[in-house]
């Protein structure tokens, strides 16, 4: 994995942890450590609204725009890091 | 996993929703007595969740127009317009809608969903960019997704969020489409169209506004929120529906761009759908006349909306951000919302329950839609029914 994707992934892990801990979503519980292979839907049972809300937070944190179409094949933290990296690469 | 196994999750959702006794998504009205009253489980029930904003579903002129159309033109068109030909009334309604919005061109679709789908899939191609309000209706999302365009969401009604995305698009902003609604149907809040239109002008984008819930309700002539905010001439495409204020079924797109007349050749949801039955077109034509000729309907609607909104606030309920014919009451967790909605129904008030992820945030809401046909007494009865159940929320904490 290249260094930038690794750094992005680390930051996404922190953002995800912060999102899960936010008082807005007490029903979401982290199941173990967040890794690159953590699946947003199956590991945290995030519903579609929560996934979209988290995407918006990522967009703002990295100052990128995520095409909704790219989300259909995006399941893990690593997948997200790849998408963010792609947009940052322009 | 077998093909049918996925329905287990739908079964679980249905069971969760039905714990209070009724499935909020499957209420059966045994009889419709008027635009605002029906019979549910043998009880007289005030209909406060049917989007019948002007109460025209039983309007004698609309009913007569539909009846006459059936007798003179038959029950259906039996196919699509491109394959079977157009009835003159369909073409006439397209022109009437274009005239109503003071634009040159109009298209009629068989449903509001098809209008949004059909317009967006024809307007956008893969590689195009669309900026979509995060709270936009599913039909707008689906149309954008079906088109294959790149879809970027901006925060709901957030002009800063929209501009940031326009900036990031760079030169692509000149060809992008901004998609918003006039009145948002869950919370009853209006889009800041003045600011959005200014951004559209600044970056050279195109603007599509869905006036589904605002047609007949906002503006001096009832054209919608863009008219009320004075920016009609900056909107490139208006879409909307016949199934709310106009009391029928169907949808439309109107535009000042002559290319709209060519859109029908590219729009699969238009090409491959049977056209609306003559009775629908006839009652819609008549309802549009009522919108234009009876501004007092809007006055009554707004008086009722204002009273319901104030009434809920006086009782201490948290409502949407502004008075509108859609009045949403925040109920918090789904566990509190379900019994509240069920008991409202048992008290003879039908409303809409919105629970996550169908609601715009993590809370549950009960949504009321107000009608010009609601009597003052019915509005008071709705308020009273809500008030009598407030203890359910307090117990929930």
pLDDT digits (tens, 9 = 90+) for B376-394: 999 999 999 999 999 988 7
Whether residue B65 has pLDDT greater than 70? yes
Between CA B360 and CA A53 the distance in angstroms is 10
Range of the domain at A36: 3-88
Helices B193-203 and B159-169, axial angle in degrees (round to 10): 10
Out of A65-74, B9-18, B73-82, the most confident range is B73-82
Cβ distance of A69 and B165 shorter than 8 Å: no
Whether residue B250 has pLDDT greater than 90? yes
Asked if the C-beta of B294 comes within 8 angstroms of chain A's C-beta atoms, the answer is no
- What mean pLDDT do residues B158-184 have? 96
Whether residue B397 has pLDDT greater than 50? no
Q: What is the pLDDT of residue B249?
A: 97
Domain B8-47+295-396 has CATH 3.90.1150.10: yes
- Check if the beta carbon of residue B277 is closer than 8 Å to that of residue B76: yes
Q: What is the pLDDT of residue A1?
A: 65
Q: What is the CATH number of the domain that holds A58?
A: 1.10.1200.10
Cβ distance of A69 and B148 shorter than 8 Å: yes
Q: What is the pLDDT of residue A25?
A: 59
Which residue(s) pair with B255 in the sheet?
B105, B237
- Check if the beta carbon of residue B255 is closer than 8 Å to that of residue B103: yes
Residue B237 three-state SS: strand
* pLDDT-derived band at B297, boundaries 50, 70, 90: very high
Give A-chain residues touching B169 at CB under 8 angstroms: 65
Task: Tally the C-alpha atoms within 13 A of residue A38's C-alpha that lie toward its C-beta.
Answer: 23
Q: What is the pLDDT of residue A21?
A: 79
Whether residue B174 has pLDDT greater than 60? yes
Query: For chain A, what is the domain count?
Result: 1
Rounded to the nearest integer, the mean pLDDT of chain A is: 84
- Check if the beta carbon of residue B284 is closer than 8 Å to that of residue B93: yes
How many percent of chain B have pLDDT more than 70?
99
* pLDDT-derived band at A50, boundaries 50, 70, 90: confident
- The A residues from 11 to 40 touching B (CB cutoff 8 Å) are 24-25
Give A-chain residues touching B168 at CB under 8 angstroms: 63-65
Token pair belonging to A35: 């890794």
Whether residue A90 has pLDDT greater than 80? no
- Each domain of chain B, given as residue ranges in start order, spans 8-47+295-396, 60-293
Cα nearest neighbour of B133 on chain A: A56
Rounded to the nearest integer, the mean pLDDT of chain B is: 96
pLDDT digits (tens, 9 = 90+) for B308-358: 999 999 999 999 999 999 999 999 888 889 999 999 999 999 999 999 888
Residue B22 three-state SS: coil
Residue B152 three-state SS: strand
Between CA B272 and CA B275 the distance in angstroms is 9
Between CA A64 and CA B169 the distance in angstroms is 10
Rounded (5°) CA angle B359-B363-B365: 65
Q: Nearest-CA distance from A90 to chain B in Å?
A: 10
Q: Phi first, then psi: what are they for B93, rounded to 5°?
A: -65, -35
Domain B60-293 has CATH 3.40.640.10: yes
Q: What is the pLDDT of residue A38?
A: 85
Lowest mean pLDDT among A65-74, B152-161, B226-235: A65-74
Q: What is the pLDDT of residue A32?
A: 66
- What mean pLDDT do residues A18-39 have? 72
Whether residue A18 has pLDDT greater than 70? yes
Residue A19 three-state SS: helix
B144-174 as b/e: b if 16+ CB within 10 A: bbebebbbbbbbbbebebbbbbbeebeeebe
Cβ distance of B151 and A67 shorter than 8 Å: yes
Q: What is the pLDDT of residue A53?
A: 86
Which candidate in A41, A54, A67, A73 is best for mutational testing of the B interface (most B CBs within 10 A)?
A: A67
Q: What is the pLDDT of residue A26?
A: 56
Cα nearest neighbour of A68 on chain B: B151
Between CA B334 and CA B338 the distance in angstroms is 6
Q: What residues of B are labeled active site? A: 185, 213, 244
Cβ distance of A66 and B152 shorter than 8 Å: yes
- Check if the beta carbon of residue B119 is closer than 8 Å to that of residue B253: yes
Q: What is the pLDDT of residue B248?
A: 98
Q: What is the pLDDT of residue B260?
A: 97
Q: For the residues of B17-66, what is the DSSP string, one character each?
A: HTTTSS-TT----SEEEETTEEEETTEEEEE-SS--TT-GGG-HHHHHHH
- What mean pLDDT do residues A12-35 have? 74
- What mean pLDDT do residues B362-380 have? 96
- What mean pLDDT do residues B59-71 have? 98
């Amino acid at each position: 994995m290249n260094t930038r994707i690794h750094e992005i992934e680390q930051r996404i892990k922190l953002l995800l942890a912060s999102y899960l801990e936010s008082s807005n979503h007490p029903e979401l519980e982290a199941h173990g450590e967040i890794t690159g292979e953590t699946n947003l839907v199956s590991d945290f049972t995030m519903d579609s609204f929560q996934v979209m809300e988290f995407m918006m937070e990522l967009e703002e944190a990295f100052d990128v725009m995520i095409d909704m179409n790219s989300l259909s094949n995006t399941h893990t933290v690593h997948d997200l890091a790849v998408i963010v990296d792609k947009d940052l690469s322009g | 996993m077998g093909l049918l196994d996925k329905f287990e999750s739908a079964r679980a959702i249905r069971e969760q929703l039905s714990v209070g006794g009724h499935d909020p998504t499957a209420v059966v009205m045994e009889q419709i007595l008027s635009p605002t009253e029906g019979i549910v489980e043998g009880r007289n029930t005030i209909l406060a969740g049917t989007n019948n904003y002007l109460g025209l579903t039983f309007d004698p002129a609309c009913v007569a127009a539909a009846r006459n159309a059936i007798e003179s033109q038959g029950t259906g068109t039996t196919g699509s317009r491109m394959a079977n030909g157009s009835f003159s009334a369909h073409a006439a309604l397209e022109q009437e809608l274009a005239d109503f919005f003071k634009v040159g061109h109009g298209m009629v679709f068989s449903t509001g969903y098809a209008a949004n789908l059909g317009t967006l899939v024809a307007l956008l191609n893969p590689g195009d960019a669309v900026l979509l309000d995060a709270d936009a209706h599913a039909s707008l999302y689906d149309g954008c997704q079906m088109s294959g365009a790149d879809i970027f969401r901006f925060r709901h009604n957030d002009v800063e969020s929209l501009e940031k995305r326009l900036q990031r698009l760079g030169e692509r902003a000149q060809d992008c489409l901004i998609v918003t609604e006039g009145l948002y149907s869950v919370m009853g809040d209006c889009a800041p169209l003045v600011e959005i239109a200014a951004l559209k002008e600044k970056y050279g984008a195109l603007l599509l506004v869905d006036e589904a819930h605002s047609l007949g309700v906002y503006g001096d002539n009832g054209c919608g929120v863009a008219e009320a905010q004075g920016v009609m001439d900056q909107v490139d495409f208006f879409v909307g529906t016949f199934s709310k204020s106009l009391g029928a079924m169907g949808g439309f797109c109107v535009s000042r761009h002559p290319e709209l007349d060519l859109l029908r050749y590219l729009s699969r949801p238009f090409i491959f759908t049977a056209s609306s039955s003559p009775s629908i077109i006839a009652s819609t034509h008549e309802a549009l006349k009522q919108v234009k000729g009876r501004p007092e309907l809007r006055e009554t609607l707004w008086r009722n909306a204002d009273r319901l909104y104030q009434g809920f606030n006086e009782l201490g309920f948290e409502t949407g951000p502004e008075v509108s014919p859609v009045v949403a009451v925040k109920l918090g967790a789904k566990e509190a919302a379900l019994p509240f909605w069920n008991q409202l129904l048992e008290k003879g008030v039908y409303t809409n329950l919105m629970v996550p992820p169908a609601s715009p945030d993590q809370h549950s809401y009960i949504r009321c839609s107000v009608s010009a046909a609601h009597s003052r007494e019915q509005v008071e009865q709705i308020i009273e029914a809500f008030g009598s159940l407030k203890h359910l929320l307090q117990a929930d904490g």
